[in-house]
Structure 1
Amino acid sequence: MTAWEGGSIRVGLVADPGVPTEIAERLAEELPDELRDKVADVDWQVRASSEGLPLSEEGTIEIAAKASEMGRSDRWDLLICLTDLPRIDPAGTVVAEADASSGAALASVPAIGSIRLLPYARRVVVHLVGLLARESLRLTTKGDYHAGAWGVFGTRVRQVPSHHEDIDANLVLPGRLGRMRLLFGMVRDNRPWRLVLGLSRAVAAAAGTAAFGVFFPSIWTLSDSLAAPRLVLINFFAVAVMAGWLVVHNSLWERPGRSAGVHKTRIYNAATALTVTVGVICMYALLFAVTTLGAAIVISPEYLGTQLGHPAGALDYLGLSWLASSMGTVAGALGSSLETEAAVRRATYSRRERERRERRRREQQESRQV
Structure 2
Amino acid sequence: MTAQRTPDAVSVGLLTDDGLPRQLAGRIAEGLPARLADDFGDETSWHVEHEARSLPLDEEGNIPMLALAEEHRAEHEWDLLVLITDLPRRAGTVPIASDYNVAHGVAMVSLPALGALRLRGRACRLIIHLIHHLMSPRSAKAADPPRRALDRLRELVAPMRHIRDRGAADQHLALVGVRGRLRLLAGMIRDNRPWRLVPNLAGATAAAAATAAYGIITTSFWRLAEALPALRLAGITVLAIVVMSGWLMLHNHLWDSPSGHLERRKALLYNASTALTLTIGVACMYAILFGLALLAAVVLVEGTYMAQVLGHPAGPASYLKLVWLSASVGIVAGAMGSSLEDEESVRRATYSRREQERQQRNRERAESGS
Regarding TM over 0.5, the answer is: yes
> What pairs with 1:146-165 in structure 2 (closer than 5 Å)?
151-153=154-156, 155-163=158-166, 165=167
Is residue 11 of structure 2 the alignment partner of residue 10 of structure 1? yes
Is residue 28 of structure 2 the alignment partner of residue 22 of structure 1? no
1:176/1:254 Cα in 2 relative to 1: closer, same or farther (>3 Å)? same
Do the aligned partners of 1:202 and 1:335 also contact (CA within 8 Å) in 2?
A: yes
Do the aligned partners of 1:39 and 1:126 also contact (CA within 8 Å) in 2?
A: no
Instruction: Give the secondary structure class of the aligned counterpart of 1:261.
Output: helix
Query: How many angstroms apart in 2 are the aligned matches of 1:192 and 1:206?
Result: 18
The residue that corresponds to 1:171 in the other structure is: 173
* Of 224, 235, 244, the match for 1:233: 235
Instruction: Give the secondary structure class of the aligned counterpart of 2:57.
Output: coil
**Cα displacement string for residues 101-152 of structure 1 (whole angstroms, at most 9, x for unaligned residues):** 21111111000111111111111100011111114xx233255269999623
> What pairs with 1:82-93 in structure 2 (closer than 5 Å)?
82-90=84-92, 92-93=94-95
The residue that corresponds to 2:140 in the other structure is: 140
Identify the range of structure 1 (219-228 vs 258-267) with the bigger mean alpha-carbon deviation. 258-267
The residue that corresponds to 1:127 in the other structure is: 129
> What code does the residue aligned with 2:39 have?
K
> What pairs with 1:1-370 in structure 2 (closer than 5 Å)?
7-41=8-42, 42-90=44-92, 92-135=94-137, 138-142=138-142, 144=144, 151-153=154-156, 155-163=158-166, 165-257=167-259, 261-367=263-369, 369=370
Query: How many angstroms apart in 1 are the aligned matches of 2:158 and 2:353?
Result: 31
Do the aligned partners of 1:9 and 1:45 also contact (CA within 8 Å) in 2?
A: yes
1:326 is displaced (CA, Å) by 0.8
> What code does the residue aligned with 2:349 have?
A
Do the aligned partners of 2:93 and 2:265 also contact (CA within 8 Å) in 1?
A: no
Do the aligned partners of 1:123 and 1:152 also contact (CA within 8 Å) in 2?
A: no
1:278/1:143 Cα in 2 relative to 1: closer, same or farther (>3 Å)? same
Query: How many angstroms apart in 2 are the aligned matches of 1:287 and 1:246?
Result: 18
Do the aligned partners of 1:190 and 1:275 also contact (CA within 8 Å) in 2?
A: yes
Do the aligned partners of 1:13 and 1:48 also contact (CA within 8 Å) in 2?
A: yes
Q: Could you say what the CA RMSD is over the residues aligned between the two structures, in angstroms?
A: 2.1
Do the aligned partners of 2:39 and 2:145 also contact (CA within 8 Å) in 1?
A: no
Instruction: Give the secondary structure class of the aligned counterpart of 2:11.
Output: strand
Identify the range of structure 1 (199-208 vs 150-159) with the bigger mean alpha-carbon deviation. 150-159
Query: How many angstroms apart in 2 are the aligned matches of 1:266 and 1:108?
Result: 19
1:74 is displaced (CA, Å) by 1.1
**Cα displacement string for residues 176-233 of structure 1 (whole angstroms, at most 9, x for unaligned residues):** 1110000000000111001011111111111111111111111111101101111011
| Unmatched runs of 5 consecutive residues or more in structure 2 | none
Do the aligned partners of 2:93 and 2:262 also contact (CA within 8 Å) in 1?
A: no
Instruction: Give the secondary structure class of the aligned counterpart of 1:279.
Output: helix
Runs of 4+ in 1 over 6 A off after TM superposition: 146-149
Query: How many angstroms apart in 1 are the aligned matches of 2:146 and 2:301?
Result: 69
Do the aligned partners of 2:39 and 2:146 also contact (CA within 8 Å) in 1?
A: no
> What code does the residue aligned with 2:57 have?
L
Instruction: Give the secondary structure class of the aligned counterpart of 1:134.
Output: coil
1:365 is displaced (CA, Å) by 2.8
Query: How many angstroms apart in 2 are the aligned matches of 1:133 and 1:357?
Result: 37
1:72 is displaced (CA, Å) by 2.3
TM-score of the pair, normalised by structure 1: 0.93
1:34 is displaced (CA, Å) by 0.5
Identity %: 44
TM-score of the pair, normalised by structure 2: 0.93
Instruction: Give the secondary structure class of the aligned counterpart of 1:167.
Output: coil
Report how many aligned residue pairs link the two structures.
Answer: 362
* Larger relative helix fraction: 2
Query: How many angstroms apart in 1 are the aligned matches of 2:93 and 2:273?
Result: 20
> What code does the residue aligned with 2:141 have?
T
1:73/1:28 Cα in 2 relative to 1: closer, same or farther (>3 Å)? same
Instruction: Give the secondary structure class of the aligned counterpart of 2:120.
Output: helix
Query: How many angstroms apart in 1 are the aligned matches of 2:21 and 2:261?
Result: 25
Instruction: Give the secondary structure class of the aligned counterpart of 1:359.
Output: helix
1:66/1:258 Cα in 2 relative to 1: closer, same or farther (>3 Å)? farther
1:38 is displaced (CA, Å) by 1.4
